[in-house]
């Protein structure tokens, strides 16, 4: 849902330390004494797109280094919302497990998971060069390039799904062992949709006709989703073009990093398939075909009814978006996706 950083910036004009007013004294001390001991901070600037956490780009010269390097400082805000968000400690553990399956993720440099030093749970990781996949797709790549992009993304999702957890459910702590007595973060689709509708703003854009469509689809959900109940793969849960950075390597597109793991949990990879294909009609047709090919080629399992299951799973996200939209444009896109699903019989 949330893009985590811009493209690379020029460092040529950085010659001396600049004021670092965006950093409070405690965070500055943690950075220069613990996270990057002895480093000199040169520039600090906010990053766009951090809707649930505060994101900051740092340019710093580590002690003993001759070059300035870039880092991202992620400061967690208090939890909230309808879907549980992972703690800083859990997110660090998730990044480690994903990296163990060669999933491209940001490299963690340091963490203050409980905010004991900085006052808020804080994560520092290396900046990753690359272009948001959303930008590349919006530029309208040729059919061959779009297919290559899709295959690369599908193959990465298959590797994420190779991370197996002890059981399905939300991560309670950094062990990544879901609580056997805890409810799945997204389990009861009709109940979740009902809660979204009940807590929607009275003057929100969702009208009664759209709410009825959403409710009807949700009530069909339990029967459809029985096929994936109990699956226990790592699920990103926000796997879409704005959370993937891509770059060209040896003339081919590859995924440079999968960003924003704060919603990750243990469940079915088809959550992420549905998320990626939610707005597939807006992308070059070859991208969606390549994505499916890449997922299958990477040993990702697609049951016979995978499209219906993945679209049904995506109703969790659509219900949240439609009843608490970030902006009118995104609401309109989500509403169109809802009605496409209804028209297709899902």
Q: Quick check: 330 pLDDT over 90?
A: yes
**Which residues touch 203 (CB under 8 Å, ≥6 apart)?**
none
211: helix, strand or coil: helix
Q: Specify the pLDDT at position 22.
A: 74
The first and second tokens of residue 62, run together, are: 């580590």
Q: What is the overall mean pLDDT for the chain? A: 89
More confident residue, 11 or 63: 63
- Give the pLDDT score at 2: 37
How far apart, in whole angstroms, are the C-alpha atoms of residue 158 and residue 279? 20
- Enter the tokens of residue 178: 């879901």
pLDDT tens for 109-121 read 999 999 999 999 9
pLDDT of residue 79: 67
Q: How many CA atoms lie within 13 A of 335 on its CB side?
A: 18
Give the model's confidence band at 14: pLDDT under 50 very low, under 70 low, under 90 confident, else very high.
very low
Question: Contact 323/200 with Cβ under 8 angstroms?
Answer: yes
Q: How confident is the model at residue 125 (pLDDT cuts 50, 70, 90)?
A: very high
Q: Which residue has the higher pLDDT, 251 or 273?
A: 273
Q: How confident is the model at residue 49 (pLDDT cuts 50, 70, 90)?
A: low
pLDDT of residue 191: 94
Q: What is the pLDDT of residue 153?
A: 98
pLDDT of res. 78: 77
Q: Which residues pair with 266 in a beta bridge?
A: 169, 234
Q: Could you read off the pLDDT of 244-271 as tens digits, one per residue?
A: 999 999 989 999 999 999 999 999 999 9
| Confidence at residue 21, expressed as pLDDT on a 0 to 100 scale | 60
Give pLDDT, residue 80.
67
- The encoded tokens of residue 106 equal 């940001």
Give the CATH number of domain 25-126; options: 3.40.1550.20, 2.60.40.10, 3.30.200.20, 3.40.47.10: 3.30.200.20
**Residue 287 predicted with pLDDT over 80:** yes
Residue of higher predicted confidence among 84 and 40: 40
Query: Tell me, what's the pLDDT at 52?
Result: 74
Alpha carbons within 13 A on the beta-carbon side of 189: 25
The pTM of the full predicted model, rounded to 2 decimals, is 0.90
Query: What average pLDDT does range 89-94 have in this prediction?
Result: 96
pLDDT value at position 6? Answer: 34
DSSP 114-156: T-TTTSS-EEEEE----EEHHHHHHT---HHHHHHHHHHHHHH
Instruction: Please state the domain extents for the chain.
Output: 25-126
Contacts of 253 (CB under 8 A, 6+ apart): 136, 145, 148, 149, 152, 246, 247
């Amino acid at each position: 849902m949330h893009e985590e950083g811009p493209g690379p910036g020029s460092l040529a004009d950085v010659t001396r330390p600049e004021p670092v007013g965006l950093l409070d004294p405690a965070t500055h001390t943690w950075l220069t004494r613990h996270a990057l001991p002895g480093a000199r901070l040169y520039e600090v600037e906010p990053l766009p797109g951090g809707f649930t956490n505060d994101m900051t780009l740092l340019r710093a010269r580590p002690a003993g280094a001759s070059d300035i390097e870039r880092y991202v400082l992620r400061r967690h805000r208090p939890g909230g919302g309808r879907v549980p968000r992972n703690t800083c400690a859990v997110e660090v553990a998730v990044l480690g497990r994903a990296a163990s399956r060669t999933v491209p993720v940001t490299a963690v440099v340091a963490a203050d998971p409980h905010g004991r030093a900085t006052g808020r749970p804080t994560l520092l990781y290396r900046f990753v060069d690359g272009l948001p996949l959303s930008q590349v797709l919006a530029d309208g790549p040729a059919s061959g390039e779009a297919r290559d992009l899709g295959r690369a993304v599908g193959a990465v999702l298959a590797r994420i799904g190779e991370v197996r957890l002890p059981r399905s459910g939300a991560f309670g702590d950094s062990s990544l062992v879901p609580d056997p007595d805890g409810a799945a973060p997204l389990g009861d689709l009709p109940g979740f949709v009902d809660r979204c509708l009940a807590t929607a703003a009275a003057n929100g854009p969702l009208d009664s006709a759209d709410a009825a469509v959403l409710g009807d689809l949700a009530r069909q959900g339990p029967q459809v989703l029985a096929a994936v109940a109990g699956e226990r793969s790592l699920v990103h849960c926000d796997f879409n073009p704005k959370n993937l950075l891509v770059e060209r390597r040896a003339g081919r597109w590859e995924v440079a990093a999968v960003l924003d793991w704060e919603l990750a949990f243990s469940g079915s990879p088809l959550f992420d398939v549905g998320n990626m294909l939610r707005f597939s009609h807006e992308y070059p047709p070859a991208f969606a075909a390549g994505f499916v090919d890449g997922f299958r080629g990477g040993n990702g399992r697609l049951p016979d009814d995978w499209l219906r299951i993945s679209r049904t799973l995506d109703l969790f996200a659509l219900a949240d978006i439609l009843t608490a939209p970030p902006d009118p444009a995104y609401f309109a896109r989500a509403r169109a996706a809802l009605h496409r699903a209804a028209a297709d019989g899902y």
